[in-house]
Amino acid sequence: MKILIRSAKIIQKGADLNGQVRDIFIENGVIRQIGEQLSAEADEIIEGENLCVSLGWFDMRVHAKDPGYEHKESLYSLEKAALAGGFSEIALLPNTKPTVQTRESVHYLRKSGDIIKFHPLAAVTLKCEGKDFTEMIDLHHAGAVAFTDGEHPIQNPDIFLKTLQYLSPIGSLLINRPEDTDLTHFGQMHEGSVSTLIGMKGMPRMAEEIMVMRDLKLLEYVVDTPFAEVNTTLPLLHFACISSAESVELIRQAKAKGLPISADVAVHQLCFTEDDLMGFDTNFKVNPPLRTQKDVAALWAGLADGTIDAIVSDHNPQDDESKNLEFDMADFGIIGLETLFGVANTYNVGLSLEDLIDKITIQPRKILRLTVPQIAEGTKANLTVFEPEKEWTYSTILSNSKNTPFLGKTFKGKALVVIA
């Protein structure tokens, strides 16, 4: 198969070709030529107005649902949705049935992708229940790229501490979504004026911020332990789905101190607020909850100054039986793979295009200690072709589940082709 990409602007922060308009000729999955006005014969020619090409996009937080909940999302439908969104690689949370806690479950996910590469995130504790450890070294050698209990924040500080001590010598990463679940028990949305007005049990910011403080303190203990094997040039702890302005500031200060941490934000947190729940639409019910405009502004500022390293979809498919019911009975979650770039690009505050692309290409791979591909002659193609100015309306959902508030919305910026 021969593919020719015509007159595409290369977007790769820090690369020599960044910002250059070039033709790219790909043959049998390998970049053969990069140049101007190439005359190579091709089976497929990709061209368009304002065409751009970057490294294949990477989403580091996706709820797989398969195995066990295929009616919500199968790996087949997941791949279709990811390709439509421009992703060549995604990292999958372990909250399946059975849980991703054995070599066999890791191998199942690694071998399942056709075009897209699936990266398994293995569980820290058995069944993600926060009680007994999994065989993390065994899972690491089997190909798990990091460890997390996914939907379940690690509540036990001893479990959390020992996980950091366990993962540090093997050069792996702990991912945790900070939430004190005792403070958010029965919570439905952000605790504030809107929750009071509409009579919903709130989830306070401090439930996240207290856990960020706790996790940073425990990490600092591990780093300062004499003879500890901690590589402080790479993150040992990753904060998932940060949503609070104070959390951003705590992480900013910790990075300034040199602690080995990184963080991401879910894309829907960058465009919606608690006000969007006034209509009781369960598609806006997420965890962490949508907060205030002040928090949204702080999240964009954190992305701009590098405090927040990556943007994720937190793609969480839920079927009609889980969403189409009373608000307090509905499950949390939004699907976001197909719309991540369009949403982030449309609502962008303060990020250049190359910085935005960096948050969904280079940074996730660095955080997970994966090889960063290159756009260079002789390398395997791992590319996303997109038009950042293209306006489009989200009208067809490829995921098995339809739980999205973005249906019918018009966005600026769309992926056209994934070549991997």
What are the catalytic residues? 314
Coil vs helix vs strand at 32: strand
Give the HSE-up count for residue 4: Cα atoms under 13 Å, Cβ half-sphere.
14
Which long-range contacts (C-beta less than 8 Å, at least 24 apart) are formed by 163-169?
163/124, 163/133, 163/136, 164/218, 164/219, 164/222, 164/236, 164/237, 165/222, 165/225, 165/228, 166/133, 166/136, 166/137, 167/136, 167/236, 168/222, 168/228, 168/229, 168/230, 168/231, 168/236, 169/229
Which long-range contacts (C-beta less than 8 Å, at least 24 apart) are formed by 29-37?
29/1, 29/380, 29/381, 30/378, 30/379, 30/380, 30/381, 31/375, 31/376, 31/377, 31/378, 31/379, 31/380, 31/381, 32/377, 32/378, 33/377, 34/375, 34/376, 34/377
Structure tokens at 78: 């997941």
